[in-house]
Amino acid sequence: FFELTQQPGKAVVVGAGYIAVELAGVLHGLGTETHLVVRKQKALREFDEDISNFLDKQMVKDGLTIHRNTMGLA
């Protein structure tokens, strides 16, 4: 991933845990059109509800696309 000679134009990250959220955030922050695919309503469901709700709203506000309730299908 970090040895890519060109930044991808689009990327899909599948998962709702902190590693998936972090990877999606890094890609999006670098300018890649990023889609986060989660099985249920939001990422980081096991974290503090205030934190996960804030992060969810912030990711959407920043332009990261979240595909919800997908059961792994986008």
In single-letter form, the type of residue at position 19 comes to I
pLDDT digits (tens, 9 = 90+) for 23-67: 999 999 999 999 999 999 999 999 999 999 999 999 999 999 999
Confidence at residue 71, expressed as pLDDT on a 0 to 100 scale: 76
Confidence at residue 1, expressed as pLDDT on a 0 to 100 scale: 66
Rounded to two decimals, what is the model's pTM?
0.89
Contact 37, 65 (CB under 8 A): no
